[in-house]
Chain A
């Protein structure tokens, strides 16, 4: 009686070892499949749910005035880091203009490592979607904001806290699927 039971046990055991390779295969497949839907270039901002870092920059259109991070309060705002030399920024420009015309959200700009002549020429020609623009010529403010490429866009709530960050050009799709729900949610907060 015991003899038969231990034989069955041994058989089950050897059958189980046969399955080890396929189990490992399934595990590896799972990780590889997961890897397909990850974008390793997109880094989560360490500032999510933290106040936007303090900065004070000259305002592009009024160099005698300052544009400071304290102005990003009281409304839900987008802080868009852009430059006139940045091709993707030109891609998103039309969408930003549309948002301004629809009064969907207040957009503030941070002009990253640019020449004042170039950027003014570009904005005067194709329109200025920004309420105010900080002019960051050396790029130190951008470093303090953890910017590593233009365009990047922070969604900032009424208390001046970063709630979302989008990296890359804002297209109509991106606005409707990612940023608009966020902005509308934040607008309902007190």
Chain B
């Protein structure tokens, strides 16, 4: 992901880091958009005042839910960027997960307009021999980029005494289903209930409960559905037996055809 040191950098040569200071900001999956707003404010302030002489700004705004709010952010950023001391710098703006495609287009236009009259059309471009060509990259990376990757570390808030306990915790949470978002595991989900259940599992591991006891605890309360491994009971005979039946049928058919 390090575009600065790649031969494809807008400057045509690798950029020394530090000198140009890079700022990567990823706002992912914030549940409360008001919180996201606060971060963006802080961020904008920092950039405005920052010593990033010719710095580069990566801004990833993911998953913002309020459409009007996105517009506001875009305006604000565009303003900040053009005023900022990022002379010679590059603004990378990654807006993920925008749901209105017409809006994306509009935003791109707007940013391109705002940015080009800025002092950014300076030295960097000349050094690259590109004259006054735009050296602002606006990246729109959708979907694949964002929430899952960045949301995952958020839950690593539990410290275990041994690696074994940590492994058990990972193993259990990855094999139990979140009841709220039912296609996610307890490890993946950020639903409040999943957080509570992770806490319960953590506490039970701390009190030396076995994996089976922990699973039984959850199955007792939520039913077999909570486990990704269905038990062998009459209603699941078909489920467990079907692969074998299909295999036998396959063997039977092949033998019939070959004889």
Chain A residues near B (Cβ < 8 Å): 40-41, 43-46, 113, 138-140, 143-146, 148-149
Q: Which residues of B contact A140 (CB under 8 A)?
A: 196, 200
CB pair B223 A143 closer than 8 Å: no
Q: How far is the CB of A43 from chain B (nearest CB, A)?
A: 5
Q: How far is the CA of A148 from the CA of B191 in the complex (A)?
A: 10
Tell yes or no: B179 within 8 A of A by CB.
yes
CB pair A146 B196 closer than 8 Å: no
Q: How far is the CA of A113 from the CA of B193 in the complex (A)?
A: 10
CB pair A149 B223 closer than 8 Å: no
Q: With A44-B223, A46-B223, A148-B222 in contact, is A143–B179 under 8 Å at CB?
A: no
Interface residues on B, range: 10 to 19
Q: How far is the CA of A139 from the CA of B196 in the complex (A)?
A: 8
CB pair B180 A143 closer than 8 Å: no
Q: Which residues of B contact A146 (CB under 8 A)?
A: 221-223
In the complex, how many residue pairs between chain A and chain B have their CB atoms under 8 Å apart?
A: 37
| Interface 1/0 per residue, B101-120 and A, CB below 8 Å | 00000000000000000000
Tell yes or no: B182 within 8 A of A by CB.
yes
Tell yes or no: B225 within 8 A of A by CB.
yes
Q: How far is the CB of A41 from chain B (nearest CB, A)?
A: 6
CB pair A46 B180 closer than 8 Å: no
Q: How far is the CB of A143 from chain B (nearest CB, A)?
A: 6
Q: How far is the CB of A173 from chain B (nearest CB, A)?
A: 25
Tell yes or no: B74 within 8 A of A by CB.
no
Q: How far is the CB of B235 from chain A (nearest CB, A)?
A: 11
Tell yes or no: B8 within 8 A of A by CB.
no
Tell yes or no: B38 within 8 A of A by CB.
no
Q: With A45-B223, A143-B221 in contact, is A148–B196 under 8 Å at CB?
A: no
Q: How far is the CA of A45 from the CA of B179 in the complex (A)?
A: 12
Q: With A113-B192, A139-B196 in contact, is A41–B221 under 8 Å at CB?
A: no
CB pair A144 B221 closer than 8 Å: yes
